[in-house]
Each structure stands twice: as structure tokens, then as C-alpha cells.
Amino acid sequence: MDEQDHSAAGRWQRRYTEAVPEPEDDVRTTLSGVEAPPLAGPHNHPVDPERIGVPGEYPYTRGIHTTMYRGKPWTIRQFAGFGSVADTNRRYHDLLASGQHGLSVAFDMPTLMGRDSDEPESEGEVGHCGVAVDTVADMERLFDGIPLGEITTSMTINAPAVVVFAMYCVAAERQGVPIADLGGTLQTDIYKEYIAQKEWLFPPEPHLRLIGDLLEFTTERMPRYHPLSISGYHIREAGSTAAQELSFTLAAGFAYVELGLSRGLDLDRFGRRLSFFFDAHIDFFEEIGKFRAGRRLWARWLRDRYGATSDKAQQLRFHTQTAGVSLTAQQPDNNVVRTAVEALAAVLGGTQSLHTNALDEVLALPSDHAAKVALRTQQVLAEETEVAATIDPLGGSWYVEWMTDQVEADAERYLERILDLSDDGTVTSGMLRGVETGWFTAEIADAAFRYQQQLEKGEKHIVGVTSHAEDDADELEILRISHDVEVAQCARLAEYRAGRDEARARATLDELVAACGTEANLVYPIMDAVRADATLGEICAAMKREFGTYTEPPVI
């Protein structure tokens, strides 16, 4: 005869079992499909205080800083960019005046693809999903009246990141600001482009060379600058699970660590300036667990696999953006609630900076009103709720610790699979093999398909879409970008080319092509081309002459 459990947990389990006649109907899963226990506690997940640790100490589960938000609040960094550089510059001044702490630049599609606004492929896209930046003069106008030595700037761009970075540095020089004084972040993460967002210029190896050159340049000359923001956001937006987002992103980070080490750089020196960018999705506790697990994984791998001894190199610093994919065109006011919940998860998960999406972003770039509401959402969290009064207030919660361990274990399994793809035992080889075979894309597609099936079966719900839908909806006034923006931008570009020293610009582009065929650090000839008034598209086209282009493998 089995011995009956007379503990409180045992008594609860018997009552619960009696109350649920059909156990198969009682399964609840997270957004990622992980089955959640009906009750977490010492009966099924004892909490080990030593494993959790304390804030500011390895393994950093509870935060990378000893004082966390009691010492310094998270940075409010709203992503902004639209239309012309003059339009965006005005938005930046408004955001700074409203209490934003730093700037985050959204570029339009032609800029993201390394194309000038007057190229045929750019037609109809100029200024629509961000701001058009073709020249260093555009960069100067973008930050007119904004002291670049005092404001930190994040730039979300990858394939042409080094070119845009060079323009930013030259614009700072022309403001009289030494580049050593610049602080901010450049996304630069090319792996996630091959995995999820699909915006690249060349095959992977030339892109990795450029990133290595940037790592060397900033390590030597720009102590306050973060040259890489390794991005899981776009992986999650493409349909991945939380564990896929975390593992694929950390694997990219480990590959960049290997890149820096292959260049002879000191990990304790360059590792501290690697940062991350994650999605805060709508599954509240899963997201908190993801952030906490990410800190623990990064610290352990950096210390045990790569030999980092510096606390700074072992600490996972990350920016968070609320989930764009969770927003709906139907009943868009509901998006304010979604964004607030996601922002709260990011804060309770210990983010260093945060962007909150606007309610209308599913339809267009944010209107002034929607952008202000998004900003105020963060300020209400920071100034009214007191969620920052206690560090990691959910630490020790049986469910939160269970979720943290669950996401960590699932992410570790994916990391093992990436290593299995490797030819030489490095994460870099596994990442490249995963890109070449389409493995990453297939894994994400499968996860997205499973979630879509759950929606269609009614196992998951989207309020206003799959449940509580309404036939009639109020028309939402959205920001519309006039075609005049493209016409004016192309006219300025033509005037810019006409006013430059053409022979000098062409000479620097030829020198850049020649440098691409050597082992020279390409940041320097790119910066020379920018100073000679070469355009973004011209510089990227010059490098394509040497590096070629890339077509991804089909995935069925």
C-alpha cells in the first residue's frame, strides 16, 4: 500500500485532483508551449538561495548591479525615426524635453539595406519605417542641437552598421566632440539578419570581418561605446519561442566573443562592452524567467568556457523593447495594456534600458500622441508604482524560479544542438552551419506554426481578434509619410553630390575596394570615404565589388 502524503502540498494535490475530472483538459502552457504546473512550491521545485545568489554577484540571476534601480533607474530610450532628418530631429528634441534619457534611431528600409534614397529599389520606401540617412550631412542634421558627447545614442542597424557608425563619428567630429567621448550602442548583429530579419549585404564572412574591425577600433579608441547589441528581438518577432530567442541570441554573442578572441583582443576588456537587445512578450512570467536565465547563462559560459575573469565581462547588459508582434490593428487601445504588461515584465526582469511600443505601431509609425503615451507608460512605472523599490522583488518565488530554470534548461539544449552543428567545436562554426543549412529559420518557422495552430484551435487567445472581437471599429488617426519626403530627400542627395569634390570621393571609394582585398582594418578607409562625402549607398556598393552578395538557402 502506498504511503499517503499528509503534507499540506499532498492534501492540496488530492483536493485538486478530485476537482479536475478530466486531467487532459487541465493542461496550460506558456506562450512558448511549455506546460506550466498548476502550483509551484517546495513540493515540486525547492528554491536554492545559493543558486539564485544576490544582485551584483555571479551568477547575476537577480541583476547585474548591486543597487539595481535603487541606484539608477533603467534608461528610457524610445525608438524613433520617420520621414526626413528634420522631422526626426524635432521628435528627438520633443522626447528629450519630455524626460527621455537617451536616443534610439530607427532607419528607413533603404538605409537598412545600404541603399541611397535615389536608387530604383528605394522608391516608395524613403522615410516610411524610419528616417532616411544617405550622407554625413544627413547625420549632422539628424542630431542638430543635440550634444553628442552628452547624450547616448542607440542605432538599430546591422548590414551597413559600420558605415553609419563612421557617419556618426564624423558628425561628432564636426560638432567638436572627440570620438573617445561618444557613448551609445550600435546594433551591428549580422547573425540575427541571416536567422530572422533577412537584411544583409554580403556573405557572412565579410560581415564578420567588418564586425571584427569595429571591435578592434572601438576597443582601442572609444571606451564608452558599445559596438555590438546582439539582438534576440527580431528572432522573437519572427515567431520563435522564448528559449529559442535566448539561445540563438546568446550563441551569436558567444560567436562574437570568439571573433574578438581570434583578433587577439582581451575578453575582459572588450567583453564588457557587448550588450544585448531582447523582446518583452506578453507571457509575463515566462519573460521574467527568460531575462533572469539569460544573465545566468551568459555569466557561466563567459567564465567557464571563455575564461573571462572580469565581473563586467560576465554581466549580461540588455535593452528591451515590448513586443511589436503582440500588437493588433483591431481594438488598438488594447495595445496600451499589452505594452504596459510587457514593460513591467522587462523591469521586473532587470533590464538596463527600455522602449515601449506605441498603440498605433501595428498600422504605421507612431503619431506624436501615441509616442507620448508610450513614453508616459514607462514614466508611470518608474515614478508611481514603486516596482523599483525592492531589487528583484519576484526572486525566490517558486514559480518564477521554476520558470527561470525551465527557460535556462531549454536554452542550454538549443546551445548543445548548435555545438553539434559545429565542424570544429566552436560556436562560430555551429552558427555559420545553422545559417547555411537554414536550420535556424526552420526551427523558428516550426515554432510560429505551432502557435498559429493553438490560435486556430482556441487554445490561445488574442483579445479583440480571436476573442471579444467587434465588427465595427473607430478609425484611428495615424502618421502618414508624404511622397514629398522622398522627392525632397532625392533632391538634397543630388545637390550633395553636385557640391562635393567628385575626384576625391571616387578616390576614397577605390581605396576602400583595394583595402577590402587586404587584411587592413576597414573602419579607417570607410571613415575616409565619409569625410570625402561619399554616400551610404556608394560605400556599400564599393564593398560589394570585392565581397559579392548573398542568397540564402531555401527552407521548406
The string of pLDDT tens digits covering residues 47-91 is 989 889 999 999 999 999 999 999 999 988 877 788 889 999 998
pLDDT of amino acid 4: 64
Please give the average per-residue pLDDT across 299-307, as a whole number: 98
pLDDT of amino acid 366: 86
pLDDT 10s digits, 253-269: 999 999 999 999 999 99
Judged against a pLDDT cut of 90, whether residue 476 lies above it is answered with no
pLDDT of amino acid 204: 96
Which region among 18-27, 60-69, 487-496, 497-506 has the lowest average model confidence (pLDDT)?
18-27
Report the chain's mean pLDDT, rounded to a whole number.
94
Give a three-class secondary structure readout of 3-54: CCCCCHHHHHHHHHHHHCCCHHHHCCECCCCCECCCCCCCCCCCCCHHHHCC
CB 260 within 8 A of CB 215: yes
Judged against a pLDDT cut of 60, whether residue 2 lies above it is answered with no
pTM of the model: 0.94
Q: Which residues pair with 156 in a beta bridge?
A: 106
pLDDT of amino acid 556: 60
What nine digits make up the cell of 421? 552543428
Judged against a pLDDT cut of 90, whether residue 367 lies above it is answered with no
pLDDT of amino acid 76: 87
pLDDT 10s digits, 514-547: 999 999 999 999 999 999 999 999 999 999 999 9
What nine digits make up the cell of 381? 512605472
* DSSP 8-class letter at 324: G
pLDDT 10s digits, 169-189: 999 999 999 999 999 999 999
pLDDT of amino acid 364: 82
Q: What percent of the chain has pLDDT over 90?
A: 84
Give a three-class secondary structure readout of 484-506: HHHHHHHHHHHHHHHHCCHHHHH
Please give the average per-residue pLDDT across 332-353, as a whole number: 97
DSSP letter string over 329-377? SSSTTHHHHHHHHHHHHHHHTT-SEEE---TTTTTSSPPHHHHHHHHHH
CA–CA separation, 242 and 244 (whole Å): 5
What nine digits make up the cell of 528? 575616409
474 — pLDDT class (breaks 50, 70, 90): low
Nearest to 114 by CA among 490, 552, 549, 554: 549
pLDDT of amino acid 1: 35
Please give the average per-residue pLDDT across 402-416, as a whole number: 98
Q: Within 13 Å, how many C-alpha atoms sit on residue 162's CB side?
A: 28
Please give the average per-residue pLDDT across 324-339, as a whole number: 96
Top mean-pLDDT range of 25-34, 104-113, 336-345, 482-491 = 336-345
